[in-house]
Amino acid sequence: MRSEFLEELILILGHPNVLVDDDDKAPYLNDWRKRYSGKALAITLPKTVQEIAQIVQLCAKNQIAIVPQGGHTGFCGGATPDNTGAQIILNLKRMNAIREIDKANQTITLEAGCILQAVQDKAADQDFLFPLSLGAEGSCMIGGNLATNAGGTNVLRYGNTRDLCLGLEVVTAKGEIWNGLKGLRKDNTGYDLRDLFIGSEGTLGIITAAVMKLYPLPISQWTTLVAIDSIESTIALLNLFQKRATSLLTGFEMMTQESLTLNEKHFPHMANPLQGNPPYTILIELSDHESEEHVRQLLETVLEEAFEAGLISDAVIANNLSQANSFWHMREHITLAQAEEGANLKHDITIPLSSLDNFIKETDAQMRSQYPGVRIINFGHLGDGNLHYNIAPPLGVDPKAFNLIHEKPIHELIYAQVERCHGSISAEHGVGQLKLEDLRAHKGEVAHELMKTLKRALDPQNILNPHKVVSI
């Protein structure tokens, strides 16, 4: 049966686009964090939506499960197959055409395998901004961004991937093609199918193309790092910028001292330009269509006000693009520093801003008393209430041995605090296989059952990314 199935796959895609040799399959079988690895019957590399529809029909006929895959930069093991060797991977990298840029409508219609950075560049060539931006943008793909509803560093101003999407093309679990590629900003024709597929992590359908929003390219941008003593002051500073700079505020990122110490250990050239290792370093970015002088003046005025109110103790404004980039690199390298340091425990959480101070005080205190010496690598998109509250073992302790014993109780400690503060256990990275059980525990029974009902209705044979997000 397997060889017949593989022969039919080859008939659809051609020999070079069905990988079956171990060496050829290997680069597709592990996740970025090196946490998950699996086996696959074949890696399929389709080029058109019709080919994808045919593959899904063939898999439905043979009850073979499909793991959709983009750049496999996801953090939750969603794009990694299980260990049975019975699943196929459907990687979308060859489906990478930009179908249209509609200047009047300010939209781009593109295929799921487009690399995010290539989309940003293409938009900029036409004087537009495609605002989705994240550390993996050189390798993640728009289909993966949509499937995870990725966030990143511009959510504060432009929203997450869902907010940027107007229309989708999807292959359903039956192998039908749903063409929902309308670039409309209003469309109340019943249930919102687009929003159902966004964030479904390949469990309800395969996203093959999308219509995304574009924005006018800002002409001036100023980036600053500020030193601050407490989260309470950080929230007050955020509120001050929201009031004074309104929609010019495009970035508000937080890094703790411990995060930057780890960064500097692995990337010494990325030392914090602020003196004295402040408890919190905040990266703030303003962008606009007004002149550079106008925006710089606004930034200086708000910073002065913050100094006078005693909210901040130091600030450094980037004087050119290269310095601004170095501030952003410092922020984005924390993930890479953690990867260098070894296995770590990630907690991608959101907390209402009004509870953030209390959350951090309480959780830090419990963590330090129950796990003396642990390093709390806390950083993230503070403007969105999104923390990456990551835990590294005490210095000198083997991360794998530490995680084996402490992973579960540490997750439970943090998620109990998230629950108490009415937050979420997944702000932007999704669920995948990593948080399958956590989701069951924290989503709420009614919501979790509704999710299973939807999965059963849209994928009754359970062939689309089974045992990811929800198990049925």
Provide the pairing of β-strand 66-69 with 88-91: parallel
Applying CB under 6 A, among 335, 363, 378, 465 the residue interacting with ligand 2HG is: 335
Give the contact letters, 423-462, x = binds to ligand FAD (CB under 6 A), - = no: -----xx--x------------------------------
- What is the distance between the alpha carbons of residues 28 and 249, in angstroms, rounded to a whole number? 38
* Identity of the residue, 140 or 270, whose beta carbon is nearer to ligand FAD in the bound complex: 140
How many angstroms separate the CA atoms of 339 and 328, rounded? 18
Please report whether residue 33 would count as binding ligand 2HG according to CB under 6 A: no
390 binds, among ligand FAD, ligand 2HG, none (CB under 5 to 8 A by kind): ligand 2HG
The piece of 144-152, 230-238, 303-311, 446-454 that touches ligand FAD (CB under 6 A) is: 144-152
Out of ligand FAD, ligand 2HG, none, what residue 388 binds, judged by CB under 5 to 8 A for its kind, is ligand 2HG
Residue 274 near residue 225 (C-beta atoms within 8 A) = yes
| Residues 340-379: x where in contact with ligand 2HG by CB under 6 A, - otherwise, as a string | ------x---------------------------------
Closest approach of ligand FAD to the CB of residue 456, in Å: 18
Contact partner at residue 346 from ligand FAD, ligand 2HG, none, CB < 5 to 8 Å by partner kind = ligand 2HG
Binding segment for ligand FAD (CB under 6 A), chosen from 145-153, 184-192, 319-327, 389-397, is 145-153
Distance CA 376, CA 271 (A): 19
Amino acid at 455: K
Q: Are 357 and 365 in contact (CB under 8 A)?
A: no
DSSP letters, 274-315, are STT--SEEEEEEEEESS-HHHHHHHHHHHHHHHHHTT--SEE
* CB atoms inside a 10 Å sphere around CB 321: 10
The number of angstroms, rounded, from the C-alpha of 172 to the middle of its chain's C-alpha atoms is 24
42 contacts: CB under 8 Å, gap ≥ 6: 6, 9, 18, 19, 20, 25, 88, 89
Q: Which residues bind ligand FAD (CB under 6 A)?
A: 32, 67-75, 78-79, 92, 112, 134-136, 140-141, 143-145, 147-148, 150-152, 201-202, 206-207, 335, 428-429, 432, 465, 468
Q: Which residues bind ligand 2HG (CB under 6 A)?
A: 135, 332, 335, 338, 346, 380, 388, 390
